[in-house]
Amino acid sequence: MLDITQIQKVLPHRYPFLLVDRITHIKQGEFVEGFKNISISEPAFMGHFPDHPIYPGVMILEGMAQAGGILAFKSSDIPEEELKNKVIYFMSIDKAKFRKPVVPGDRLDYKIKIVKLRQNLIILDGKAYVNDTLVAQAELKAMIVDK
């Protein structure tokens, strides 16, 4: 389990773009589970949409990517001291589907599994849920590179 302080030691993202509040389960080389609490105070809701707030799909994908980034860093063979000089870049997001709107008050649960892991390349199967209902999914490809 990683709290927000531990997450910030792994990811370079900060407010308003840090989209993972907690990692609840992680198994190196296999999967990660975490969540983001969706609040009406999210900056995206100022324009998406003022009278009908819906959490943007691209933000859901980014949250999945960030959770996947944590999994990639924790699953790599790169020594922890060296990881401080690395960053993860997403190369592609494929097969993205949005199945149900996410609204203020929802807890967005991320479940990310490794499909393939080769040195600094990772392919992930990402899913996002609200109350055990699948709301979004995508295949994510990324590389760990020097900053």
Per-residue pLDDT tens digits for 42-81: 999 999 998 999 999 999 999 999 999 999 999 988 888 8
For the question of residue 48 being annotated catalytic, the response is yes
| Least confident piece of the model among 17-26, 29-38, 47-56, 79-88 | 79-88
DSSP letter, residue 79: -
Pick the CATH number of 4-146 from 3.10.129.10, 3.40.30.10, 2.40.50.100, 3.40.50.720: 3.10.129.10
Residue type present at position 141: K
Residue 134 pLDDT exceeds 90: yes
Polymer length of the chain: 147
Q: Distance between CA atoms of 88 and 122, rounded to whole angstroms?
A: 10
DSSP letter, residue 51: T
Q: 86 φ, ψ to 5°?
A: -115, 160
Residue of 5, 65, 17, 11 lying closest to 43 (CA atoms): 17
Q: Distance between CA atoms of 105 and 38, rounded to whole angstroms?
A: 6
| Rounded alpha-carbon distances, angstroms, from residue 51 to 45, 54, 56, 60, 108 | 9, 10, 14, 20, 21
Residue 120 pLDDT exceeds 90: no
39 pLDDT band, cuts 50/70/90, is very high
Residue 84 pLDDT exceeds 90: no
pLDDT at 80: 81
Q: Distance between CA atoms of 93 and 97, rounded to whole angstroms?
A: 11
pTM for the complete prediction?
0.96
- As a whole number of Å, the end-to-end CA separation of the chain is 26
Q: Which of 13, 25, 48, 52 is catalytic?
A: 48
Residue 37 pLDDT exceeds 90: yes
129 pLDDT band, cuts 50/70/90, is very high
Q: Distance between CA atoms of 135 and 129, rounded to whole angstroms?
A: 5
